[in-house]
Chain A
């Protein structure tokens, strides 16, 4: 949330920027702490969903740059 507040104070108004930064923070935290829930299907689905969302956001931004 501290990161989101910082981005907001910098004047960022793109929703996907907030989303992608938070997904990145989630995966970094996950890799560092390794919460012993690898067996959990729900967590696996969540990870896949967030990764796909992140990939879509990045792909969309890349597409925008290429089209311009």
Chain B
């Protein structure tokens, strides 16, 4: 903010100086005013664009995390595992080849004789649980979170697939997210599954994940024993 104020002040002073230079026919003074205006303009632009480098830092951090979790999943032979989000305290996202366990500790471990990798989830704590779990209510709530609040995609559609299955179609993903869609720990899939678990207050299993033109298709099973 300081840089913006400095830049705006420099532009104002230079404009005044330039006007004075024109009136007094001192072209050298106009030149100095233009120089000051240029410096002020540069400060102004840099001051206003300071949020974007922060995004760059987050993306670098995301890249490190995605690589680290991929290495862990490789070592545990869980590259073709399924994602399961277990509601409760703490909420955990579990990558395992077996069925969704009732509860696991965050980190690495074994369940049903098979290894798992679980991540404790703290996101979307302020999301209120839906009164009625339908495709329409999930779609509306997910749109509110992922499109209106986070601006991560252009459109989202949810279809009921019979029983506790829901199919989510998301298109126009932000570049930052689509870049990581091929990683085993895909941030977008994780966000959708976690948000759905928070909204429904139930466990969520990502049954299937596939690419569609300009987006992804996720099949989620929502239920206490997902």
Residues of A near any B CB (own CB < 8 A): 1, 3-5, 7-8, 11-15, 17-19, 21-23, 26, 35-37, 39-43, 46
| Selected contact of A39 from candidates B26, B34, B56, CB within 8 Å | B56
B65 interface residue, CB < 8 Å from A?
no
0/1 interface trace, chain B 16-42, chain A, CB 8 Å (1 if under): 000000000011111110111011011
Q: Give the number of residues in B that approach A within 8 Å (Cβ atoms).
A: 23
Whether B35 lies near A1 (C-beta < 8 A) is yes
Query: Which residues of chain B are within 8 angstroms of A12 by Cβ–Cβ distance?
Result: 28, 31
- Secondary structure at the B interface, as helix, strand, loop or mixed, is helix
**Residue B53 interfacial (CB < 8 Å):** yes
- Asked whether, in the complex, the Cβ of B32 is within 8 Å of the Cβ of A37, the reply is no
Question: With a CB–CB cut-off of 8 A, which chain B residues contact A26?
Answer: 38, 42
Name A's interface SS: helix
Chain B residues whose C-beta falls within 8 Å of the C-beta of A22 in the assembled complex: 34-35, 38-39
Q: Which of B43-51, B72-80, B92-100 contacts A (4 or more CB under 8 A)?
A: B43-51
B46 interface neighbour in A7, A21, A23, A35, Cβ under 8 Å: A35
